[in-house]
């Protein structure tokens, strides 16, 4: 139970901070200290963070109860991807007000969110490696979808991105996306145990 609380707490903190920071930095308007800006960042950040924390706990609990490694990989991957997809859907629908999101983009984001946690739980790899895998998964999903959007930004119907950035600061895109991915990657893999693989 203590392990579950740690996983939930750390992941909630990291995912909330990541999304809140992104919303705060990229929100429209010039009033940096406005209540609306803080409210959106904290409120929508917490919604996203809670779902990602639930994803991490769901992956952990399902992995501890399933012994065959292949079945464990399938179930934890399915649980993680489903809840990761819901996390991105909450951000897209509630904050961005996109009521007809591209489901494939959301699923890609769900896979990106969960890949590091699943590999650590299935293969019991060291935390450093799972953190790197988690970072790559999240960063790749965010940047691939944004760069695709940016390429066709002026099209009548530009493709959807998981996160949007201010086009007037192109050099900050990589930094903000990197910080977003790093916060979630580090905190979501921090509290997992490195146990021997049970096949």
Dump pLDDT digits (tens) for 148-166.
Answer: 999 999 999 999 999 999 8
Range of the domain at 154: 2-189
User: What pLDDT, on the 0 to 100 scale, is given for residue 170?
Assistant: 82
Residue 114 lies in a domain: yes
Band (197; pLDDT cuts 50, 70, 90): very low
159 found inside a domain? yes
pLDDT at 100 over 90: yes
pLDDT at 196 over 50: no
Domain count of the chain?
A: 1
Q: Does any domain span residue 42?
A: yes
pLDDT band at 199 (very low <50, low <70, confident <90, very high): very low
Whether 196 is covered by a domain: the verdict is no
Q: Has residue 158 been placed in a domain?
A: yes
Statement: residue 131 has pLDDT above 50: yes
Q: Is the pLDDT of residue 177 over 60?
A: yes
Q: Is residue 64 part of a domain?
A: yes
Is position 125 within any domain? yes
Would residue 110 count as lying in a domain? yes
Question: HSE (CB half, 13 Å, CA atoms) of 100?
Answer: 2
Mean of pLDDT over the chain: 91
Mean pLDDT for the stretch of residues 120-143: 92
């Amino acid at each position: 139970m203590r392990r579950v609380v740690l996983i939930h707490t750390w992941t909630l903190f990291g995912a909330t901070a990541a999304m809140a920071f992104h919303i705060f930095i990229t929100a429209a308007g010039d009033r940096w200290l406005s209540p609306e800006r803080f409210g959106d960042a904290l409120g929508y950040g917490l919604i996203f963070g809670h779902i990602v924390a639930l994803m991490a706990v769901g992956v952990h609990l399902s992995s501890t109860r399933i012994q065959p490694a292949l079945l464990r990989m399938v179930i934890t991957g399915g649980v993680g991807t489903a809840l990761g997809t819901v996390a991105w859907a909450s951000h897209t629908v509630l904050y961005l007000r996109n009521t007809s999101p591209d489901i494939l983009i959301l699923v890609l984001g769900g896979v990106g969110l969960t890949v590091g946690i699943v590999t650590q739980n299935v293969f019991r790899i060291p935390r450093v490696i799972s953190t790197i895998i988690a970072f790559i998964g999240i960063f790749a999903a965010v940047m691939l979808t944004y760069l695709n959007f940016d390429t066709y930004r002026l099209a009548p119907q530009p493709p959807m991105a998981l996160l949007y950035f201010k086009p007037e600061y192109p050099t900050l895109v990589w930094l903000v996306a990197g910080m977003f991915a790093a916060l979630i990657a580090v905190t979501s893999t921090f509290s997992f145990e490195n146990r021997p693989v049970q096949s």
